Amino acid sequence: LYLKKIEIQGFKSFAERTSINFDQKITAIVGPNGSGKSNIADALRWVLGEQSIRNLRGNKMEDVIFSGTEKKKPLGFAEVTIIFDNTDNFIPLEYSEISISRRMYRSGESEFFINKSPCRLKDIKELFADTGIGKEGYSIIGQGKIEDIISSHPENRRLIFEEAAGIVKYKLNKQDAIRKLDKTNANIMRISDLLNEVD
């Protein structure tokens, strides 16, 4: 599985429909400050379901829609599509290409699509669960993240590794089970007190 292409239209600085093809090897995107390089990474995060505008470097969700320039009028919606090559069947769908799209209008509602069929965000999350792809996966490393990892407290760093290893959900399940056990133990104690009273 690899990311083959991203198509961006009306998202942040990309007013015109723009396609970027990624090679199987390394693709570097270069350009002057403020030319929109980071907006491409934002588009990737957004199409994978990012719901926090702070993580997309904006103030309100509408900020992801092209807001116009001196020469160009603002647009009414933003749309991003990413296309994965799935010839290795890494994603268990019978398609050699999988596309994920998100469209959002100024009213705020988002539409999601898998291979052009409307779907829920949940379907996209499920499709990529445990693949390392997704907004919580470590497939997108933002500016400053490496510094965070290096400079963080060892315990926090351990959390990052636990998250990457996919064991955080088991830790949460364990905490849940311990809480239930504690509650049950307290109930048992209460019942045995009541039984003693009855005796």
Among the listed residues 3, 13, 53, 127, the single contact to ligand ATP using CB under 6 A: 13
Judged by beta carbon, residue 65 or residue 104, the one nearer ligand ATP is: 65
Select 144 or 154, whichever has its Cβ closest to ligand ATP: 144
Residue 63 binds to ligand ATP (criterion: CB under 6 A): yes
144 touching ligand ATP, by CB under 6 A: no
Task: Tokens for 193, please give them.
Answer: 């007190």
Nearest residue by C-beta to ligand ATP?
38
Site string for ligand ATP, 38-57 (x = CB under 6 A): xx------------------
CA-based nearest residue to 117, from 104, 130, 134, 98: 98
Q: Counting contacts by CB under 6 A, is residue 34 touching ligand ATP?
A: yes
Give the C-alpha separation, 103 to 45, whole Å: 13
Is 157 within 8 Å of 149 (Cβ atoms)?
yes
Q: For residue 92, state whether it binds ligand ATP (rule: CB under 6 A).
A: no
Q: Can you read off the two tokens belonging to residue 51?
A: 């719901």
In the complex, the residues that contact ligand ATP under the rule CB under 6 A are: 12-13, 31, 33-39, 63, 65-67
